[in-house]
Amino acid sequence: MPAFYWNELGSYSYNYDSNDLNYQRIADPAPLLVTQDKPQQPPMVFTAEQWAFGPGRYEGELTLQRSGCAAITPVSASRSPPM
């Protein structure tokens, strides 16, 4: 199983003259601040050394941990945190 690491944040822009969608690196990995008024984040690029996608179905899970909590409970992409 490959070990992925967070490589960068990026953004996409559309060039109407050339009809191209362009990707630009905008930042190195940094702590994420997610607030109720701005829950979106820019695209995140994850990389795995010496590994590439091939034909087939893929499933994955991104696990986050809340910082500053005495008892840290992972937040999984497959479930929502309690409200």
Could you tell me if residue 80 is inside a domain?
Answer: no
Its pTM stands at 0.54
Could you tell me if residue 43 is inside a domain?
Answer: yes
The model's confidence at residue 51, banded by pLDDT at 50, 70 and 90, is: confident
What is the average pLDDT score of the chain?
79
Any bridge partners for residue 60, and if so which?
none
Could you tell me if residue 63 is inside a domain?
Answer: no
Could you tell me if residue 59 is inside a domain?
Answer: no
What is d(CA 30, CA 76) in angstroms, rounded to the nearest whole number? 19
Instruction: Give the Cα-Cα-Cα angle 32, 41, 36 (nearest 5 degrees).
Output: 80
Q: Tens digit of pLDDT for each residue in 55-81?
A: 999 888 877 777 776 665 555 554 444
Query: Domain range for residue 41?
Result: 1-48
* Ranges of H-type helices in the chain: none
Furthest C-alpha separation in the chain: 53
Q: Total structural domains in the chain?
A: 1
What average pLDDT does range 39-51 have in this prediction?
83
Higher pLDDT, 22 or 70: 22
Total count of residues recorded for the chain: 83
